[in-house]
Chains A and B, each alone.
Chain A
């Protein structure tokens, strides 16, 4: 308090000294409404500024004591000319010849303020960390009490003719600065009106009141927005959330919390509500040790809401971390801009309600191959560039990093990223995969078909070659025998034809043809057999093949004999029964021979 008084005294002196410096302008009316409901303090000052000097004025100065200015998260001036309302640029400046413990902001007026004219300005300034918990440590059962300090008078470089101050409070008031002109009505604490105060008037006002609204502070938030031109925007938000209020002492008792959560544990919060853009889908909510199962999600075409509950209720001084991720349809956020550019239009801030973000980092991951990247934001941010590698990237994806401290919900404005991107690049990764798999198959084929033996003269290699040759020969022999069998079949069928049609001539012709084929095949077989005999490796198969040859010869003889018999019988016009009885024994032998031949063939083919 002492320091504050000293400070006020200094201010007052300075104010008296410099009161003449800007005497042209006069604040004819200043109504301040200080909203203390949440831990983010919003001060709305309705100003009427009058030009009493002779010259036209184009800018209006605002003043904030440094103690407050360091907590300032945003300042915005609204101006209305009757019909349209717009936001006036408000920039910090350092004017000369003014008291130095004060930070100044200049508002550029849309048109010059002539002599005797008045302009109405609504200045919204947002302060963070201005509510100090007092006491600083409370037990679970106690409510959280906080102290807010402000100037009873409007701090201004101009004299203020008429002013008032209203605090809007969330609950019980423990104490407040007593003053003649003060009244407490329900949840509003009113000071004033005060008239004719000189510039830089100062008188401290302190309010000590109960505030159990969540003091949710995100110590760090990393928002990663990843664009895929296949139609998706993936947003991943990593939070480190803590409770910025009075810290908990004497431990946490679950029984008390469960018995009466709102009485015992009033200062804690257990639910956070995230307002996501419409049509958000594929939402997840997890932390480094897995999924967090306590969340609710609902949405319609206008908006999507995600209600998340951290793993444990957050009491003063506690903290936790978690990650939220969701996907958005690309066409809602990406548009074509002039000059063939594309523009991404997204909100900057954090989607959680009434959360102060101390360090806010937005990373926009553009697709691989994006060029000419520019960013447009409505407030100053620290920009840098980075590269991220993911999903089979070669060059990496360009990343735009935007950093800003002390981000409040009022910063939840749109920002734009402009970049150039060629749609052909989309195909590069699928093509890469296709080529990769193709090459794999080619490599397999090459491996199967090349001879990778190092020594071409080693005995095992030669053996292997010979073995392959033997196998080929055996295969060839097998084919020949298949042809033999086919010839046999032909003969048999000619006999059947004979029994049906009685055409002896054609039957004989068939026999002749078969004879010729048998001879030809025998010729073909000979060199193969001699080769096998010469090969040492074929010794295991050779007996079988030789057996096959003899069996086949026998079969040929039998077949021929049968054929002759049948033809003879036909020529002698014998009856079917007779023929049957004559060839019965031959037939039996033939069948068994055929079986043997076929089983031999099978056993050979098994090698």
Chain B
């Protein structure tokens, strides 16, 4: 009877452990979801920033018109007059995911708006990503490390920065897809099951649908396979994990319109095919080795090697010739700038102009992964004790992602899961060692103080030296049987149970533990556990702070705290709402490309360029117009059928990321295509300035004029609060543009192109000269501020 009870309680304990870990995982999901809601609570449930607006618009189209129209959607609201084929140029994963979720909710008659679904997609997928991390780390180092890694990933600031509620961007689902693909790869590697290999290809397909970062997977996994082969870890499981992924994955990837034949044509994918060939050769070699005698095998090797190398050389030569014949060596600009960090700034200013493509600074590592940066080395060490296929993969993932994050600040996002996995492993191993030694000491202490000696103790951490000592104490104490024994038996049982559960929890390490018992002093381990908890606490505090303060701002609504309370700057939406309601539906709005997505989504007006940046010439045209004098700019815009020009100006309220600060990029990009725009003309002694010392070209370009038109009348001096000086040219008139709207804080100013003047024969040149002279004279003439 007693035995059955023991058995029952042990299985109950297992069940309890399972339920507990499920519950913990659920809570981790809740944390991952809710820590991203700061933006909704502090601001509102709204789509953030720039790219999410495009995704939101696409999702709206998808939910309204269905999937087939989506694939064939030609968007004429953007890149006027070129337009853009949306279905063939977007990664559809995110929109399809959100669209499906919306459809599901609506088919159950749950009235959620598309916007709500889009806003909350990222937090939901962060919870999924945390669970995927659990699975991946569990495959690498056991469930304890898995849970720790999941908890760390749930709130890593780097990931939060891209997945707060409202940040409806590809990365939101792609990180989940990335981790899940890696998990399935490791799972296949550990089990050798074709079922998981197929799932792996499907997960890879989802990743290809979601993000251009899928090339990371298709390069990292071959690298790992190669590593395994080189280190002599080839097995049939490795073959099953890799070969189906390449075949199925490439086929599936080619189904995504935006990838299409790129899946076999571009250099990003060649590595995987090369490794595919290598693994087959290796598999063949292993097979032949199995059926041949060692001597015959040696002969065969030399034969094959001579022929094989010759063939390989020819193939490689052809490949190299093919690749070299294309100007970018078959690599896309963004991938090239990853391999050669200076490439973009040298050749493609448009990629270099995006702030998230800049290399990160050291503080941003601390900001984004915080204490994980210190835990990662420990995790790497733990991965080498012992090194398995899975843990070697984790190490490889970490190393490559550290490199990529060093090139582009945006790819810090890829580093975050790797850092979380490593830190999870490190923390869980450290806790394992520390609690074990604590338990060892406590049990010993317990035995010494009481007369009873449960002989079990040595089982977990027995050392040669402690065993005789125990026996000594025991033999001393067996003589004094006064104490109530029953109680002790009961206690012993309890202890046994505890140890059993402990064993169940640190299962994967127990094998190692027997071999290499590591016992730290009690005080040291207590202090270390305490310090680790403090470290974790600091991490949590930092994450909450980052989520609440640093990464929740939607960037279309700005707030500032002043002495008289919260001040809201809602100028962007004010301008977009004005455009939406008070201009003709077919009017074209020109602005710098940053505001293209927002203008099409919020104002529903046609734009000339947008954040997609696929046509450098078109962007350069707008950049040239912005850097040209008024007349030339008017001609460029008029030829593009532009009716309104929108500029963002922060000088009145001190909003630093305005068009004047971005202006040098417009000059550079414009000058890259139209050589008459020279960067040097806009710089005074190599310095970019718009004050009195600025160059004549600078003070007469369209961007300057549109930004500072009548600005001097606000305070009489024209003090720019971003640049912190008085502007150079204060009083001027616009001849070809007309102010039609300026928002409350002047952050967005909208101008209308004046219609062409009636031509008066023979007078056109004269009038042009005249207008020029008045505009230059006007500086002196209207010197007084009419308001003061």
Which residues of A pack against B, CB within 8 Å? 250-255, 258-259, 287, 289-294, 311-312, 317-321, 389-394, 475, 478-480, 482-483, 486, 489, 493, 496, 499-500, 576, 580, 584, 587-588, 591-592, 594-595, 598-599, 602, 605-606
Task: State whether B109 touches A312 (Cβ < 8 A).
Answer: no
Task: State whether A482 touches B7 (Cβ < 8 A).
Answer: yes
In the complex, residue of chain B having the shortest beta-carbon distance to the beta carbon of A500: B481
Can you list 29 contacts pairing A with B, beta carbon distance less than 8 Å?
Answer: A251-B740, A253-B742, A254-B741, A254-B743, A259-B787, A290-B556, A290-B573, A291-B44, A312-B577, A312-B741, A312-B743, A317-B582, A319-B581, A391-B111, A392-B110, A475-B7, A478-B7, A479-B3, A479-B4, A479-B7, A486-B3, A496-B485, A580-B475, A591-B455, A592-B467, A598-B456, A599-B459, A602-B500, A602-B503
Is B307 close to A, CB under 8 A? no
Is B713 close to A, CB under 8 A? yes
Task: State whether B471 touches A591 (Cβ < 8 A).
Answer: yes
Q: Determine the distance from Cα of A156 to Cα of B134 in the docked complex, in whole angstroms.
A: 87
Q: List chain A residues, Cβ under 8 A from B10.
A: 605
Q: Determine the distance from Cα of A287 to Cα of B570 in the docked complex, in whole angstroms.
A: 13
B250 shortest CB reach to chain A, Å: 30
Q: List chain B residues, Cβ under 8 A from A291.
A: 44, 46
Task: State whether A250 touches B738 (Cβ < 8 A).
Answer: yes
Q: List chain B residues, Cβ under 8 A from A594.
A: 455
Task: State whether A312 touches B578 (Cβ < 8 A).
Answer: yes
B503 shortest CB reach to chain A, Å: 6
Q: List chain B residues, Cβ under 8 A from A294.
A: 570
Q: Mark B484-519, 1 if CB is under 8 A from A, else 0.
A: 010001000000000010010001001000000000
Task: State whether B576 touches A289 (Cβ < 8 A).
Answer: yes
Q: A289-B577, A290-B46, A390-B111 are in contact. Are A580 and B3 (CB under 8 A)?
A: no
Q: Determine the distance from Cα of A318 to Cα of B582 in the docked complex, in whole angstroms.
A: 6
Task: State whether A251 touches B459 (Cβ < 8 A).
Answer: no
Q: List chain B residues, Cβ under 8 A from A587.
A: 471, 474-475
Task: State whether B577 touches A287 (Cβ < 8 A).
Answer: yes
- List 3 tightest A-B contacts by C-beta distance, closest first: A254-B742, A251-B740, A290-B46
Q: Determine the distance from Cα of A580 to Cα of B111 in the docked complex, in whole angstroms.
A: 81
Q: Determine the distance from Cα of A576 to Cα of B481 in the docked complex, in whole angstroms.
A: 12
Q: Which of B46, B471, B582 contacts A319 (CB 8 A)?
A: B582
Q: List chain A residues, Cβ under 8 A from B568.
A: 293
Q: Determine the distance from Cα of A587 to Cα of B478 in the docked complex, in whole angstroms.
A: 11
Task: State whether A493 touches B581 (Cβ < 8 A).
Answer: no
Q: List chain A residues, Cβ under 8 A from B714.
A: 255, 258
In the complex, residue of chain A having the shortest beta-carbon distance to the beta carbon of B10: A605
Q: Determine the distance from Cα of A578 to Cα of B2 in the docked complex, in whole angstroms.
A: 35
In the complex, residue of chain B having the shortest beta-carbon distance to the beta carbon of A258: B714
Is B479 close to A, CB under 8 A? yes
Task: State whether A289 touches B573 (Cβ < 8 A).
Answer: yes
Q: Determine the distance from Cα of A482 to Cα of B462 in the docked complex, in whole angstroms.
A: 22
Q: Determine the distance from Cα of A311 to Cα of B739 in the docked complex, in whole angstroms.
A: 18
| Given contact pairs A482-B6, A591-B471, A594-B455, a sample of 19 additional A-B residue pairs in the complex whose CB atoms are under 8 Å apart | A252-B739, A253-B739, A254-B742, A290-B573, A312-B744, A391-B109, A391-B111, A394-B109, A479-B3, A479-B4, A482-B3, A486-B3, A576-B479, A580-B478, A580-B479, A587-B471, A595-B462, A598-B459, A606-B510
Q: Determine the distance from Cα of A293 to Cα of B7 in the docked complex, in whole angstroms.
A: 63
Q: List chain A residues, Cβ under 8 A from B573.
A: 289-290, 311
Task: State whether A483 touches B3 (Cβ < 8 A).
Answer: yes
Task: State whether B710 touches A252 (Cβ < 8 A).
Answer: no
Task: State whether B475 touches A606 (Cβ < 8 A).
Answer: no
Task: State whether A318 touches B475 (Cβ < 8 A).
Answer: no
Q: Which of B2, B741, B787 contacts A486 (CB 8 A)?
A: B2
B439 shortest CB reach to chain A, Å: 15
Chain B binding site: helix, strand, loop or mixed by DSSP? helix
Is B350 close to A, CB under 8 A? no
Is B334 close to A, CB under 8 A? no
Q: List chain A residues, Cβ under 8 A from B4.
A: 479
Task: State whether B710 touches A311 (Cβ < 8 A).
Answer: no
Is B227 close to A, CB under 8 A? no
Is B726 close to A, CB under 8 A? no
Q: List chain B residues, Cβ under 8 A from A321.
A: 581
Q: Mark B456-489, 1 if CB is under 8 A from A, else 0.
A: 1011001000010001001100110100010001
Q: Determine the distance from Cα of A599 to Cα of B2 in the docked complex, in whole angstroms.
A: 20
B468 shortest CB reach to chain A, Å: 8
In the complex, residue of chain A having the shortest beta-carbon distance to the beta carbon of B456: A598
Task: State whether B455 touches A595 (Cβ < 8 A).
Answer: yes
Is B204 close to A, CB under 8 A? no
Q: A320-B577, A392-B109, A606-B507 are in contact. Are A293 and B582 (CB under 8 A)?
A: no
B301 shortest CB reach to chain A, Å: 35
Q: List chain A residues, Cβ under 8 A from B574.
A: 311-312
Q: Determine the distance from Cα of A483 to Cα of B474 in the docked complex, in whole angstroms.
A: 24
Is B357 close to A, CB under 8 A? no
Q: Determine the distance from Cα of A598 to Cα of B492 in the docked complex, in whole angstroms.
A: 14
Q: Which of A390, A591, A606 contacts B109 (CB 8 A)?
A: A390
Task: State whether A251 touches B577 (Cβ < 8 A).
Answer: no
Task: State whether B471 touches A588 (Cβ < 8 A).
Answer: yes
Q: List chain B residues, Cβ under 8 A from A252.
A: 739-742
In the complex, residue of chain B having the shortest beta-carbon distance to the beta carbon of A590: B455
Q: List chain B residues, Cβ under 8 A from A255.
A: 710, 713-714, 742
B167 shortest CB reach to chain A, Å: 15
Q: Determine the distance from Cα of A543 to Cα of B578 in the docked complex, in whole angstroms.
A: 82
Q: Which of B44, B455, B479, B787 contacts A290 (CB 8 A)?
A: B44
Q: Determine the distance from Cα of A602 to Cα of B787 in the docked complex, in whole angstroms.
A: 90
Q: List chain A residues, Cβ under 8 A from B109.
A: 389-394
Task: State whether B110 touches A391 (Cβ < 8 A).
Answer: yes
Task: State whether B738 touches A318 (Cβ < 8 A).
Answer: no
Task: State whether A251 touches B739 (Cβ < 8 A).
Answer: yes
Task: State whether B479 touches A595 (Cβ < 8 A).
Answer: no
Q: Mark B550-585, 1 if CB is under 8 A from A, else 0.
A: 000000110000000000101001101110111000
Q: Give the contacts of B689-744 with A (CB-CB under 8 A).
A: 710, 713-714, 738-744
Is B602 close to A, CB under 8 A? yes
Q: Give the contacts of B226-266 with A (CB-CB under 8 A).
A: none
Q: Determine the distance from Cα of A291 to Cα of B39 in the docked complex, in whole angstroms.
A: 13
Q: Determine the distance from Cα of A318 to Cα of B579 in the docked complex, in whole angstroms.
A: 10
Q: List chain B residues, Cβ under 8 A from A312.
A: 574, 577-578, 741, 743-744
Q: Determine the distance from Cα of A320 to Cα of B575 in the docked complex, in whole angstroms.
A: 12
Q: Which of A293, A311, A394, A483 contacts B578 (CB 8 A)?
A: A311
Q: Determine the distance from Cα of A319 to Cα of B581 in the docked complex, in whole angstroms.
A: 6
Q: Give the contacts of B428-472 with A (CB-CB under 8 A).
A: 455-456, 458-459, 462, 467, 471
A578 shortest CB reach to chain B, Å: 12
Q: Determine the distance from Cα of A312 to Cα of B747 in the docked complex, in whole angstroms.
A: 13
Is B631 close to A, CB under 8 A? no
Q: Give the contacts of B730-765 with A (CB-CB under 8 A).
A: 738-744, 746, 752
Q: List chain A residues, Cβ under 8 A from B578.
A: 311-312, 318
Q: Determine the distance from Cα of A605 to Cα of B787 in the docked complex, in whole angstroms.
A: 89
Q: Mark B108-128, 1 if CB is under 8 A from A, else 0.
A: 111100000000000000000
In the complex, residue of chain A having the shortest beta-carbon distance to the beta carbon of B556: A290
Q: Determine the distance from Cα of A254 to Cα of B714 in the docked complex, in whole angstroms.
A: 10
B556 shortest CB reach to chain A, Å: 8
Q: Give the contacts of B42-101 with A (CB-CB under 8 A).
A: 44, 46
A496 shortest CB reach to chain B, Å: 5
Task: State whether B710 touches A253 (Cβ < 8 A).
Answer: yes
Task: State whether B746 touches A254 (Cβ < 8 A).
Answer: yes
B570 shortest CB reach to chain A, Å: 5
In the complex, residue of chain A having the shortest beta-carbon distance to the beta carbon of B476: A580
Task: State whether B738 touches A251 (Cβ < 8 A).
Answer: yes
B384 shortest CB reach to chain A, Å: 24
Q: List chain A residues, Cβ under 8 A from B580.
A: 289
Q: Determine the distance from Cα of A251 to Cα of B787 in the docked complex, in whole angstroms.
A: 20
Q: Determine the distance from Cα of A291 to Cα of B570 in the docked complex, in whole angstroms.
A: 10
Q: Which of A311, A320, A496, A580 contacts B481 (CB 8 A)?
A: A496
A319 shortest CB reach to chain B, Å: 5
Q: List chain B residues, Cβ under 8 A from A287.
A: 577
Q: Give the contacts of B660-681 with A (CB-CB under 8 A).
A: none
